[in-house]
């Protein structure tokens, strides 16, 4: 793939497709972005809780297609095979890929494309109400790695309101499974703003928080450089002095994270806690996914407010117009930006970014009651009882 740095001169305007919206959702992108997606055979999911959208970035015959689905304050994303989970304002939605439905999408005028064929269709399968726990990042992990010792994979999520990690419960709002040792009580006060998690060897190994405080909202007092990275194995804080860190990831034998307050992507040495920036961006970095030598990074515009005032990013880019919202692609070996999609209207904040390898043109259907209503998924035994002409 080309490693030519992307510049604003490469940017081309695009129009969103998908659900109509009251506000225009205008964006521009570099011509290299659909090229990159085409070369790696992938698409990208992006959540924006502020606009209430899940955004699907897809290559449609050499043109970037930005596809929007409405959800209530979507934040965390987690993908495991054909399962996709989305953490929303008071619940977690689980969708399953049903490839047989793709033909229905291609035949319908309700799902227009420029010629691309759908190769994945995520349909709703489960919704679990958690209450307003301020769900942040999520991941499917080995159940054996949890204190509750489960035999199957579990969806683990950051319960920011209660400063803990939790899983869904069959009977309750959630089941807490871990919290930092400085958090003495289970209380919905968002004391340390626990926000990100990194999976290593099938289990959560590292988490990020914006402070080591026990008082409700206490992290706000030192948001500029009070951020920490915690190792779950030891329970110890292995890096301090970070500026609003988010999105820790273990990738290719290295520990990565976004120092959002600086607007950077970098690595942390787990032994020393030293953070080394690899690339800097014109926005509040939050949301990170990898593919090969590429990092897909979410950027938020963040306007100066009580939450974001006084952080290095706002001091570096003093005017709100200088700060950008979008999704950037950077080569982690060179630090060069090779592509981006910039939202110019309707979207100001991004939370999660997730690459879907091997899926070029997916859709998520949560608005089409008729299609959902006539798309039945059965087990093999039950399917054998269905007349052959009805099976697909």
Q: Where are the domains of the chain?
A: 41-323+346-390
What's the fold here for domain 41-323+346-390? Answer: Neuraminidase (2.120.10)
Q: What is the mean pLDDT of residues 324-333?
A: 96
Lowest pLDDT segment from 101-105, 178-182, 312-316, 362-366: 312-316
With b for 16 or more beta-carbon neighbours within 10 A and e for fewer, the 179-190 pattern comes to bbebbeeeeebb
Please give the pLDDT value at position 23: 47
Lowest mean pLDDT across 36-40, 93-97, 330-334, 384-388: 384-388
pLDDT at 16 over 50: no
102: three-class secondary structure by DSSP: helix
Strand order from edge to edge, sheet including 63-70: 17-18, 63-70, 53-60, 42-48, 353-357
DSSP letters, 295-364, are EEEEEE---SSTTTTTSHHHHHS-SGGGS-EEEEEEETTT--EEEEEEE-SS------EEEEET-SSEEE
Task: Tell me the pLDDT band of 309, cut-offs 50, 70 and 90.
Answer: confident
Query: What pLDDT sits at residue 143?
Result: 77
Higher pLDDT, 310 or 291: 291
Render pLDDT for 103-161 as a digit per residue (tens, 0 to 9). Answer: 999 999 889 888 899 999 999 999 999 999 999 999 999 877 676 656 688 999 999 99
Which pTM was predicted?
Answer: 0.91
Query: Looking at the predicted structure, is the pLDDT value of residue 215 above 90?
Result: yes
Beta strands in 49-119 (DSSP E): 53-60, 63-70, 77-80, 83-87, 91-97
């Amino acid at each position: 793939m080309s490693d030519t740095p992307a510049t604003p001169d490469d940017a081309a305007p695009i129009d969103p497709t998908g659900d109509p919206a009251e506000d225009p959702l205008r964006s521009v992108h570099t011509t290299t972005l659909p090229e990159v997606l085409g070369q790696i055979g992938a698409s990208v999911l992006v959540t924006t809780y502020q606009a209430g959208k899940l955004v699907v970035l897809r290559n449609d015959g050499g043109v970037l297609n930005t596809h929007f689905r409405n959800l209530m304050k979507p934040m965390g994303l987690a993908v495991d095979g054909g399962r996709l989970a989305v953490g929303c304002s008071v619940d977690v939605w689980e969708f399953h890929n049903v490839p047989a439905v793709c033909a229905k999408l291609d035949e319908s005028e309700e799902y227009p494309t420029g010629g691309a064929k759908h190769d994945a269709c995520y349909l709703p399968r489960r919704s679990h109400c958690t209450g307003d726990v301020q769900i942040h990042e999520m991941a499917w992990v080995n159940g054996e790695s949890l204190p509750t010792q489960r035999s199957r994979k579990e969806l683990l999520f950051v319960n920011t309101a209660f400063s803990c990690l939790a899983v869904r419960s069959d009977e309750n709002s959630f089941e807490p499974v871990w919290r930092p040792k400085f958090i003495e009580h289970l209380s919905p006060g968002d004391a340390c703003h626990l926000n990100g998690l990194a999976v290593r060897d099938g289990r959560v190994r590292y988490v990020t928080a914006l402070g080591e405080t026990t008082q409700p909202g206490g992290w706000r007092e030192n948001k500029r450089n009070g951020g920490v990275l915690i190792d779950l194995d030891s329970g110890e804080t292995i890096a301090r002095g970070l500026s609003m860190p988010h999105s820790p990831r273990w990738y290719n034998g290295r520990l990565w994270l976004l120092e959002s307050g600086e607007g950077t992507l970098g690595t942390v040495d787990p032994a020393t806690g030293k953070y080394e920036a690899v690339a800097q961006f014109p926005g509040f970095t939050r949301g990170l996914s990898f593919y090969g030598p590429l990092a897909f990074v979410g950027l938020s515009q963040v306007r100066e407010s009580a939450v974001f005032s006084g952080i290095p990013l706002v001091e570096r880019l003093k005017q709100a117009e200088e700060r950008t919202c979008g999704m950037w692609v950077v080569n982690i070996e060179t630090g060069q930006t090779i592509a981006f999609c910039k939202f110019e209207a309707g979207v100001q904040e991004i939370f999660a970014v997730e690459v879907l390898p091997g899926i070029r043109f997916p859709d998520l259907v949560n608005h089409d009651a008729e299609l959902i209503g006539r798309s039945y998924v059965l087990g093999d035994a039950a399917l054998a009882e269905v007349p052959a002409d009805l099976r697909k």
